[in-house]
């Protein structure tokens, strides 16, 4: 039995829920090997600076990593782009890596995508992984104009309800702090189950409503054994995004899929294709 009053219990549970929205930075930021040779720039955004890098001339592929990841996720794709003389633009989302900005809401991340694309254009394609997918969708809905987009292991559209504690994602389970009062954790689970589907800070931004309006040609990739994001998310995205192509794989999990050599080759083929 907790010694907390009902009011304190609610306050502590909400604190715990809010903490799940803040990424934990690595002690030492990483940099993809090829980016040591790249042009770097701290790009200004409404919520602070974003570190970004451009390698290669001409139209480039903009790469948007996921939650608690960084630019290094894209090392294999950057390497292949360099080999094939295609430009690469990578950056660290707010609250991640080398970027001093802290706010990593979908809206703030989406604005970072727009700012980096403007600073390092021309950009002719975008590739996003995990949390980078809703951030990129926000950017596409708010002015990012590219003919081709790749979405990998997307957490949206959310296809699972969370009416019970067991419906909490494994990512959220991993975020719960050790040593918390069990009653605080129990109440936090209830609050998370009551949350609406993922949206940005803009209440009017509805991902399910935005997807049918997108005009970029899309390649949507997901591994059947993804331990964090259900494959049904990408299946739902493909149904909503006009003309999109869905590629389902297996055995690559949530993160490895973005670095698998065959997947990287498929991404390059898609973004480099001539319409």
pTM: predicted TM-score of the whole model, two decimal places: 0.84
Say what the pLDDT of residue 150 is: 98
Backbone φ and ψ for 75, nearest 5 degrees, come out as -50, -50
Say what the pLDDT of residue 5 is: 82
Structure-block tokens of residue 173: 């389970």
What is the longest distance spanned by two Cα atoms in the chain? 65
Domains in the chain (CATH in brackets) are 31-158+197-271 (3.40.50.1820)
Ranges under pLDDT 50 in the chain: 162-168, 170-171, 174-175, 198-203
Question: H-type helices in 105-210, by residue range?
Answer: 106-119, 132-141, 170-175, 182-193, 207-210
Say what the pLDDT of residue 275 is: 62
Say what the pLDDT of residue 153 is: 98
Structure-block tokens of residue 137: 């969708």
Say what the pLDDT of residue 20 is: 66
Distances from the Cα of 128 to the Cα of 62, 219, 268, angstroms: 8, 11, 13
How many CB atoms are closer than 10 A to CB 11?
13
Say what the pLDDT of residue 170 is: 44
Say what the pLDDT of residue 159 is: 77
Say what the pLDDT of residue 189 is: 77
Backbone φ and ψ for 66, nearest 5 degrees, come out as -100, -170
Say what the pLDDT of residue 17 is: 74
Say what the pLDDT of residue 85 is: 97
3-state secondary structure of 210: helix
Say what the pLDDT of residue 180 is: 74
How many CB atoms are closer than 10 A to CB 124?
18
What is the chain's percent helix, strand, coil content, to nearest 5? 40, 20, 45
Say what the pLDDT of residue 66 is: 97
Q: How far is CA 260 from the centre of its chain?
A: 18
Say what the pLDDT of residue 15 is: 77
Say what the pLDDT of residue 176 is: 53
């Amino acid at each position: 039995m907790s010694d907390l009053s009902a009011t304190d219990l609610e306050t502590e549970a909400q604190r715990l829920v809010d903490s799940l929205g803040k990424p934990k930075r690595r002690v030492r930021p990483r940099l993809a090997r090829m980016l040591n040779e790249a042009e770097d720039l701290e790009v200004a955004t409404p919520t602070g600076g974003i570190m970004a890098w451009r390698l290669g001339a001409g139209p480039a592929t903009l790469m948007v990593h996921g939650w608690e990841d960084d630019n290094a996720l894209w090392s294999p794709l950057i390497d292949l782009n360099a080999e094939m003389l295609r430009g690469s633009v990578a950056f660290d989302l707010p609250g991640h890596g080398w970027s001093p900005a802290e706010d990593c809401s979908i809206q703030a991340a989406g604005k970072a995508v727009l700012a980096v694309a403007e600073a390092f254009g021309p950009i002719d394609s975008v590739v996003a992984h995990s949390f980078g997918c809703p951030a990129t969708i926000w950017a596409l809905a708010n002015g990012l104009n590219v003919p081709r987009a790749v979405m990998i292991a997307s957490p949206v559209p959310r296809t699972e309800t969370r009416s019970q504690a067991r419906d909490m994602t494994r990512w959220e389970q991993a975020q719960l702090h050790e040593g918390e009062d069990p009653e605080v954790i129990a109440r936090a689970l209830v609050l998370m189950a009551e949350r609406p589907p993922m949206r940005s800070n803009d209440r009017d931004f509805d991902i399910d409503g935005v997807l049918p309006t997108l005009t970029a040609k899309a390649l949507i990739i997901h591994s059947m054994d993804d331990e964090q994001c259900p494959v049904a998310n990408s299946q739902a995205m493909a149904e909503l995004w006009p003309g999109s192509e869905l590629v389902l794989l297996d055995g690559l999990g949530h993160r490895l899929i973005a670095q698998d050599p065959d997947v990287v080759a498929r991404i390059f083929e898609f973004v480099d294709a001539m319409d």
